[in-house]
Every structure is written in C-alpha cells, then in structure tokens.
Amino acid sequence: MPLPLLALAIASFGIGTTEFVIMGLLLDVSRDLGVSVPQAGLLVSGYALGVAVGSPILALATARMPRRQALIGLMGIFIAGNLACALAPDYGSLMAARVLTSFCHGAFFGLGAVVAGEVVPPERQARAIAMMFAGLTLANVLGVPFGTALGQAFGWRSTFVAVVGIGLVAALALHVWLPRNLSVSTGSLLREVRSLGRVQVFLAMAISVLASASLFSVFTYIAPILETVTRIEASTVTYVLLVFGVGLTLGNFLGGRLADWRLMPTVIGCFIAAAAVLGLFLFTSAWFWPAVATVFVWGAIVFALVAPLQMRVVNEASGAPNLASTLNQGAFNLGNASGAWIGGVAIDRGLAYADMPAIGIVLALAALALTLWSYALDRRQAGLAPKPARSIA
C-alpha cells in the first residue's frame, strides 16, 4: 500500500470508530450523565446531522486550500472534537462535541477520495479509494468492539481518549506521508457549484442515497431480526455482526478492483446481486448458519458499491471534485437516515421482522433503475462507445 493511502486509511479508521462506537456505550453514557437511553441515542442522530450540514460548509471553506493542508486541518477538528467528548461535563456539552467532531467526517472522506485517486495511476483509482475506505470497514470489525470493551472496562470517556490517540497518529502520518505537491482547485467557485447541477451528477448522488437506504432499512433492525426470526441469543448477535464486518471489508476491496475494470457494469451487477441476496434472506433468516452466510455475502455486496459510487460522482463532476465527493458523503448519510426511518415506519405499520428484507429489495431495485438510466445516458452521449476515463485529481 502506498504510504499516502495508509495515512488516509488510518484517519478513516479513527473517524469510523468514533462514529459507530457510541452505539455500544449508550448505557454507560446514559447512566453517567443521568439521561435516558433514547436521549443518549440522539448522540447518533446529532452526529449524522452534523455530517449532513457541516460537510458542505467545510468543503466550501477548504475549496481553495492545498489539499494536504486541508486534510491535516480536518484531522485537527477531529482530534479537538473527540477530546471535547472525553472531557464533556454534561449531556449538552457531549452533544455539541459530537456535532463538532462530525463536521470533519464528510469533508475528510470527500477530499480524501480525491487525493487517493491523485496519488496512483488512473487505472488504479477505484482501488485507491477502496484502500482509504478500508479504514472505515476495519473500524466496524476492530475499532468498535475494542472501543466498546475499553469503555465498559474503564469508563466511556477512555474510549474517546483512545480515539484522540488514533487521531494524533493519523495527523502525523498525513503530515509525513502525503505529497506536498498535491493539486489545488483554482477555477471559479461559482462555476464549480454550477457543475454539480449536471443530470449525471444528480443521478449518481441519488443512486448513493438509495444504495445506503437499501442497506440501513434492514441493517438498522438486524438485531431484532436475528433475535426474533433466527432465534439466537442477544450475545451471539455481536459475532454475527463481526461476520458482517468482515464481509464489508472484503467487499470494499473487491468493489475497488471491479470498478477499475468496468465501473458502471460493476454497480449494475452489485445492485442485482444485492436484491437477490436480500430475497434469499427472506427464507434463510429462519435458520442460523444459512442466515449468517447470507449476512456475510450481503455485507460484501453492499460495500462493494462504495468505492465505485464515490468514483462515479467525482468523475461526473470533474469540474468540482472536492465538492462533489464531499456531497456524496452527505448523500450516503441521508440514505442511512432515510433507510432507518423507512424501516421504522414499516414496523410501526405492522410489517413483520421476517419481511424486512423486502424493503431493502425495493430500494435496491429503485437504485438499479436509476443506474440503468444513467448508463443509458452514457452510451447515448458517447454514441455507444465506451466513455473515456477521467482523472479525479
């Protein structure tokens, strides 16, 4: 792995850990700060809202900064936010610190994807983006379980202190390993914003929203599905989620390689496979080993979409790669929230947990329809010839 990509992966590992580890510490936080568990759960929502609102603002603020300097600065916000979390004296302070931390999330991943593609040859750009996102997948496999265990053993504040340490290591790695000659956007900012209004850019981001919504409409409720349909003990759910995380990691690397080969056919194939696997889950969820195998394959397929979709957005908005890449991170987070909400509404209206995968199927097929439309526009514009590759630098 090129050292600049390793630096980006370390940073994404820290960001992924701080985003998700709070879910395993809700009981500890609620007891320590004297709030209810649902109130503590709003710390998750506050972070997501911060990503959606803060990322575009930071993207605009850093649009004319040297990319190396911008990434190190964003990691500084990450360190300060997590330190504030560790020292927060009350619930309101912790919420404010979580929102502050979230501001760097989308901007870092957005700008980091552009830089990852810039430090490798054009034919390896999707794999480079996947390398950066590998830190995020490993955060689910390693960072969250260990962070949760640390917090339960020594108090939830110790977890955020450990994340500050990861942030310091990441900032040092970015300072030492990122090239000093990374390109800087010099065109008109207004023209860059206008370039985001292209139909293909809009379609690419809409596809990202639906892809994420398909995942989270089911994954948000995976614990009750496994406990009530598969009938496994609550303690065993953790191990199934670990298997899911391994699937995410493998799928991330596979998606990067396939996207460098043929980007849009990879996205189309992944959506077809995701719908098929969710259809299988409607039946396999009743038995333990078939359910575990299905969850593993599902995780691999859905995360194989991340690098291709990120690269698609940046390629289509070649005049504003930083802004487009960052906004696509907001699109993923919008899909996270939308999928969880859609699943919750379906449950409130009487949908059985065993039938939850059907919602994911519908959303995956909707994403497939948009992808086919976008691909048809590509072929029409190119006169049925392959679309020339574009640099995302």
Does 231 fall in a domain? Answer: yes
The answer to whether residue 1 scores a pLDDT higher than 80 is no
CB of 247 within 8 A of CB of 303? yes
**381 CB-side CA count, 13 A:** 11
Each residue of 171-200: pLDDT tens digit?
Answer: 999 999 999 887 666 555 666 677 677 889
Domain boundary among the residues 137, 166, 184 is at: 184
The answer to whether residue 40 scores a pLDDT higher than 60 is yes
Chain centroid to CA 358: 23
| 122 and 198 co-located in one domain | no
User: Can you tell me the mean pLDDT for 315-334?
Assistant: 81
* 233 phi-psi bin (left φ>0, alpha ψ -120 to 50, beta other): beta
| 31 and 136 co-located in one domain | yes
Does 392 fall in a domain? Answer: no
User: Can you tell me the mean pLDDT for 122-145?
Assistant: 85
Tokens (6 digits) for 324: 């487009």
User: Can you tell me the mean pLDDT for 28-32?
Assistant: 88
In this prediction, residue 190 carries a pLDDT of 65
Confidence bin at 273 (pLDDT 50/70/90): very high
| 229 and 100 co-located in one domain | no
Domain boundary among the residues 168, 184, 200 is at: 184
User: Can you tell me the mean pLDDT for 254-283?
Assistant: 94
The answer to whether residue 71 scores a pLDDT higher than 80 is yes
User: For the chain, what is the domain count?
Assistant: 2
Does 253 fall in a domain? Answer: yes
CB of 282 within 8 A of CB of 357? yes
| 232 and 111 co-located in one domain | no
| 168 and 211 co-located in one domain | no
The answer to whether residue 252 scores a pLDDT higher than 60 is yes
Does 113 fall in a domain? Answer: yes
pTM (2 d.p.): 0.81
In this prediction, residue 185 carries a pLDDT of 63
Does 53 fall in a domain? Answer: yes
> Is the model more confident about 358 or about 234?
358
Domain boundary among the residues 131, 166, 184 is at: 184
| 4 and 118 co-located in one domain | yes
256 class by beta-carbon count within 10 Å (0-12 exposed, 13-18 middle, 19+ buried): buried
Does 289 fall in a domain? Answer: yes
For 4, the domain range is: 1-184
The answer to whether residue 306 scores a pLDDT higher than 80 is yes
Tokens (6 digits) for 342: 């859609």
CA distance 71 to 75: 6
The answer to whether residue 388 scores a pLDDT higher than 60 is no
User: Scanning the structure block, which residue is given the tokens 């830190």?
Assistant: 135
Tokens (6 digits) for 175: 């300072």
| 246 and 290 co-located in one domain | yes
Tokens (6 digits) for 141: 């496999």
CATH number at residue 62: 1.20.1250.20
User: Can you tell me the mean pLDDT for 115-144?
Assistant: 86
Does 393 fall in a domain? Answer: no
What is the 3-state composition of the chain as percent helix, strand, coil, each rounded to the nearest 5? 85, 0, 15
| 234 and 372 co-located in one domain | yes
In this prediction, residue 57 carries a pLDDT of 84
CB of 249 within 8 A of CB of 306? no
| 86 and 191 co-located in one domain | no
Each residue of 150-170: pLDDT tens digit?
Answer: 888 899 999 999 999 999 999
Tokens (6 digits) for 354: 């065993």
Average pLDDT, the chain: 87
| 101 and 10 co-located in one domain | yes
In this prediction, residue 158 carries a pLDDT of 96
CA distance 122 to 102: 31
Which of 134, 87, 104 is CA-nearest to residue 329? 104
| 78 and 136 co-located in one domain | yes
Which of 267, 253, 164, 271 is CA-nearest to residue 213? 271
Does 63 fall in a domain? Answer: yes
| 161 and 226 co-located in one domain | no
